[in-house]
Amino acid sequence: MIVWEADADGCCTYLNPDAAQAFSSPRELHINDWFSHIHPEDAPAAIQSILEARRTRRQYRLEYRISCRNGSTRWISDTGAPRLDAQGKLLGYLGTLLDVTENHEVRARLMRSEIEHRLLTENARDLISYSDASNIYVYASPSHKDTLGYELHELVGTHLYDYIHPDDVAAEPPGPRSKRRGLVNIRFRHKKGHWVWLGASTRTVRDPQSGAKMGIVAIARDITTQLEAGKELARREERFRSLTTLSSDWYWETDARIRFSFFSEGIYQRLGQRTTELLGSSFEEHIADPKAAGFIVCAESVAARKPFHDLIYPVWSLTKPGDIRFLRISGEPFSEDGVFCGYRGVSRDVTHEVRTANALEQLATRDTLTKLPNRELLQRRLRQWLEERRPDAQLAVFFIDLDNFKEVNDSLGHAAGDALLKNIAARLRRCIRPSDTVARLGGDEFVVLAECRYGDTSAMRLGEKLCRALDPPAMIEGHEVRACASIGISMFPQDGETSDVLLQNADTALYRAKAAGGNCFRFYTPDMSAESRTRMMRHAALRHALDRNEFVVYYQPRVDLKTSRLTGVEALLRWTHPQLGEVSPVDFIPLAEESGLIDSITDWVLRRATQQVQEWTLRHGRPFTVSVNLSARQLRNEKILASVRQALRASGLHPGQLELELTESALMEDADTAAILLKELKRHGLRLSVDDFGTGYSSLAYLRRFPLDCLKLDRSFLLQNHSDEVSPWKLAEAVINLAHTLGLSVVAEGVESEEHLAFLRTTSCDEIQGSCISAPMPPEDMERLLCSTHSEQLLA
Ligand SMILES: Nc1nc2c(ncn2[C@@H]2O[C@@H]3COP(=O)(O)O[C@H]4[C@@H](O)[C@H](n5cnc6c(=O)[nH]c(N)nc65)O[C@@H]4COP(=O)(O)O[C@H]3[C@H]2O)c(=O)[nH]1
């Protein structure tokens, strides 16, 4: 501290020794020199105050800054008191200068701190309060208004406990000597009356000397939403727990490496697998079929960090080794703060549902006998192939039909037929690749779909392979059965681009293969379509012809060449369809044979013809024969025996009046079976004739093994030009003679002209039939002929 004295003019007259360092000599100092040291910012006010005090002879006490020689600034407390003489005249001033720089800085810091605290408490969202030792509010931050509705003045002076829920008062933490910060959740009454949950942190302020409680500082925060959220979370967890306990699903989570990190309890109940055994494992470790669509989609979704839903996932059972269980799984990725954490989802054991669905699917899409895909599945696969095909892919559709399945079925019975079909299915399966399809459409129809890398060439190879595979006979119930097949082939893309067209065209080609004699394959060609359309329409129409009475039996007389008398009639079927008109038997009989309708048609012709001829016999008293044509396939089973017996019984016609005409080729096709059947028919007293003789390659001698009565010489003998080098007429004559030596009577067919007649008269031919007598005629015309006297002498 510097003590100074100055005279009335302001010149320094005394300085204490401490001031010696600051000022060289007091006498040199004048008050104006001192003024020059005052900081420019403080100088005007300080100088004015000092001069004013001197003028009015008053004391003064000022604080201001001075600039030191070393450039620093110091705060000075300057006090001055006037010295007056007895008359009150100013003698001078006595004063002190004190360096108060440090005090000043402390004060400034304090002020700053106070401002900061005020700013903090007044702007904080937290509730800051101070209550005294008796819990009376002394201070409450403005945030109390927003959160609790109270103004500061409403709280100050009131008791803290007036606002706290009675049940929570006990929670108010600090004990008498506690210095700890207490954290409590309490309910505080809002000004409007409702309770607000506060999370409060309190601190008891104590007298540093006595330790007596001085008050409580509290910082609190509205935690109502937080508590509600916490409760909601607990409720949700409880709900989730009951859900996973009660439902058939279980919940799972994986870590970021897609390894299971959590399972809800349900998995143990549903799968009998301890979750601990599964923790840390990955999806792949459990998959039972890596080709399963569910697994592939799951793996792709996980790789792309995408969700997946309701995938059927086959897994190995941990409890039953080798057993496969099916799970339905859904999952989605989850992340925290934008960082992928793993997948979570639900699963359910759907083994039972999947197995039931598979069984139903099997039933709906598989042929029960051969277990091959049925028509439905075949079409689905074909459509799928067409949708998913590569741009340059080629496909062959093989339509396969067994050539003699019906005979096997008819002669050996259904069980044998079924065994044969199974045998065929197995052979076809062996011919194809796993990616190809072999299906059974029903009956003896099979279809093979095969991708053909080299188009027709590959298809031809497979066609040959299929024929070769089906050719060897199968042993069915001790019988050697040969079930060769006809195959029609259509190719994608050239023969059609839809499944229906490809199948239809393969079917069309199949008929060509059949027409070519079977046991072969044919590729579809566009010209087949028109032909097949007509055939298909006729097929359908033929099926209804019997029910709709569209058939009529015509009769063509046979006449004894020597006596000119009627010896018999040939029954010839006529079909008139309302739209198609008259259809020739040459066209519809092969259709009837193919479709198997021939048996019922022949049955009808036999009944109608025997009844008609019996009627005529009884009415006109002149018995004559009626000959009915049989198809080749009718010689391969015994159905015809029953039909014949039935017709004779129903009509009452004498068996000797019924003749069955069999073509030469039919007899040769399966000669052994035919011989047995013909012997049986002969045993019933029927007449048997061989029709169209001369068109086949059989020798007369060969025919001796059949019990035949009559030989019908094919009309081509007469219709060909007899001026040729080897005249057919000459041949006919030789045949007639030979037939006679074998004990067969001879009927010449197609006798059209007088010339034919004249020639035949030169031979020993027995009977004639042809337009020179009469074309085949309806029963009414035949009736008229029988009634006329002319019938006695049919040849001029
Ligand atoms: N050019 C010429 N032809 C003559 C003459 N006289 C008769 N015809 C015809 O020659 C065919 C004789 O019958 P098919 O050889 O048994 O040949 C028959 C027979 O194989 C078959 N057919 C007819 N009806 C039946 C039937 O009910 N069952 C079976 N399985 N086949 C039948 O259809 C074939 C054709 O029968 P249709 O058209 O009625 O033809 C008949 C008949 O109309 C003639 O002087 N000149």
How many angstroms does the Cα of residue 504 sit away from the middle of ligand 1?
Answer: 32
Atom 6 of ligand 1, residue of closest alpha carbon: 770
**Atom number of ligand 1 nearest to Cα 776:** 43
How many angstroms does the Cα of residue 735 sit away from the middle of ligand 1?
Answer: 21
Atom 39 of ligand 1, residue of closest alpha carbon: 572
Q: What is the pLDDT of residues 640-658, one digit of tens each?
A: 999 999 999 999 999 999 9
Neighbours of 115 (CB within 10 A): 10
Give the separation between CA 542 and CA 577, rounded to whole angstroms.
Answer: 9
Judge whether 768 and 748 are in contact, CB under 8 Å: yes
Residues 155, 260, single domain; the answer is no
How many angstroms does the Cα of residue 12 sit away from the middle of ligand 1?
Answer: 168
Average pLDDT of 249-269?
88
Residues 578, 718, single domain; the answer is yes
Using CA atoms, how far residue 174 sits from 170, 217, 223, 355, in Å, is 10, 11, 21, 68
How many angstroms does the Cα of residue 328 sit away from the middle of ligand 1?
Answer: 69
| pLDDT number for residue 484 | 82
Atom 20 of ligand 1, residue of closest alpha carbon: 629
Atom 29 of ligand 1, residue of closest alpha carbon: 629
CATH number of the domain enclosing 143: 3.30.450.20
Give the separation between CA 256 and CA 261, rounded to whole angstroms.
Answer: 10
Ligand 1 binding residues, C-beta < 6 A: 556, 572-573, 584-586, 589, 602, 605, 629-631, 661, 691-692, 715, 750-752, 770-771, 776
| pLDDT number for residue 175 | 45
| pLDDT number for residue 176 | 43
Q: What is the pLDDT of residues 99-140, one digit of tens each?
A: 899 988 888 888 888 877 777 777 778 899 999 989 999 999
Q: What is the DSSP letter of 791?
A: G
Helices and strands, number each (H, E), in the chain: 26, 31
Residue 575 or residue 16, greater confidence: 575
ipTM of the complex: 0.95
How many angstroms does the Cα of residue 749 sit away from the middle of ligand 1?
Answer: 10
How many angstroms does the Cα of residue 699 sit away from the middle of ligand 1?
Answer: 23
Residue 697 or residue 467, greater confidence: 467
Atom 27 of ligand 1, residue of closest alpha carbon: 573
Atom 42 of ligand 1, residue of closest alpha carbon: 776
**234 belongs to a structural domain:** no
**687 belongs to a structural domain:** yes
CATH number of the domain enclosing 780: 3.20.20.450
| pLDDT number for residue 172 | 52
Atom 2 of ligand 1, residue of closest alpha carbon: 750
563-576 burial code (b ≥16 CB/10 A, e <16):
eeebbbbbbbbbbe
Contacts of 12 (CB under 8 A, 6+ apart): 4, 5, 6, 23, 26, 27, 28, 29, 30, 31
Q: What is the pLDDT of residues 660-677, one digit of tens each?
A: 999 887 888 778 888 999
Give the separation between CA 315 and CA 287, rounded to whole angstroms.
Answer: 5
**772 belongs to a structural domain:** yes
201 membership: H or E segment, kind and range: strand 195-206
Q: What is the pLDDT of residues 467-515, one digit of tens each?
A: 999 988 888 888 888 878 899 999 999 999 999 999 989 988 988 888 7
Closest CA relative to residue 629, chosen from 684, 688, 674: 688
CATH number of the domain enclosing 508: 3.30.70.270
How many angstroms does the Cα of residue 695 sit away from the middle of ligand 1?
Answer: 14
Strand partners, 217: 130, 203
How many angstroms does the Cα of residue 633 sit away from the middle of ligand 1?
Answer: 18
How many angstroms does the Cα of residue 584 sit away from the middle of ligand 1?
Answer: 9
For ligand 1, pick from 576, 595, 627, 629 the residue to mutate: most ligand atoms within 8 Å of CB. 629
Q: Is the pLDDT of residue 355 over 70?
A: yes
**111 belongs to a structural domain:** no
DSSP alpha helices (H): ranges in 124-223? 143-148, 152-155, 166-169
**242 belongs to a structural domain:** no
**113 belongs to a structural domain:** no
Residues 141, 285, single domain; the answer is no
Average pLDDT of 292-308?
94
Rounded to a whole number of angstroms, the CA Rg of the chain reads 62
Predicted TM-score of the model (pTM): 0.46
Q: Is the pLDDT of residue 793 over 90?
A: no
Residues 701, 747, single domain; the answer is yes
| pLDDT number for residue 155 | 93
Residues 769, 681, single domain; the answer is yes
For residue 376 the two structure tokens come to: 């439905």
Neighbours of 589 (CB within 10 A): 20
How many angstroms does the Cα of residue 783 sit away from the middle of ligand 1?
Answer: 20
For ligand 1, pick from 572, 595, 754 the residue to mutate: most ligand atoms within 8 Å of CB. 572
**290 belongs to a structural domain:** yes
How many angstroms does the Cα of residue 776 sit away from the middle of ligand 1?
Answer: 9
DSSP alpha helices (H): ranges in 247-350? 266-271, 275-278, 293-303
Closest CA relative to residue 22, chosen from 83, 77, 63, 66: 66
Give the separation between CA 38 and CA 206, rounded to whole angstroms.
Answer: 45
How many angstroms does the Cα of residue 572 sit away from the middle of ligand 1?
Answer: 6
Residues 210, 284, single domain; the answer is no
**Atom number of ligand 1 nearest to Cα 585:** 33
Residues 435, 469, single domain; the answer is yes
For residue 55 the two structure tokens come to: 């003028």
Q: Is the pLDDT of residue 462 over 90?
A: yes
Residues 483, 381, single domain; the answer is yes
Residues 630, 503, single domain; the answer is no
Residues 684, 561, single domain; the answer is yes
Last residue within a domain, chosen from 356, 382, 405: 356
Atom 43 of ligand 1, residue of closest alpha carbon: 776
Contacts of 128 (CB under 8 A, 6+ apart): 121, 139, 140, 141, 143, 217, 218, 219
Residue-number span of the structural domain to which 200 is assigned? 124-228
State how many domains the chain has.
5
Neighbours of 321 (CB within 10 A): 7
Atom 21 of ligand 1, residue of closest alpha carbon: 585
493 cis-preceded (ω within 30 degrees of 0): yes
For residue 199 the two structure tokens come to: 């999370």
Residues 491, 517, single domain; the answer is yes
Average pLDDT of 722-750?
82
| pLDDT number for residue 178 | 45
Residues 331, 387, single domain; the answer is no
**Atom number of ligand 1 nearest to Cα 584:** 38
**367 belongs to a structural domain:** no
Atom 36 of ligand 1, residue of closest alpha carbon: 585
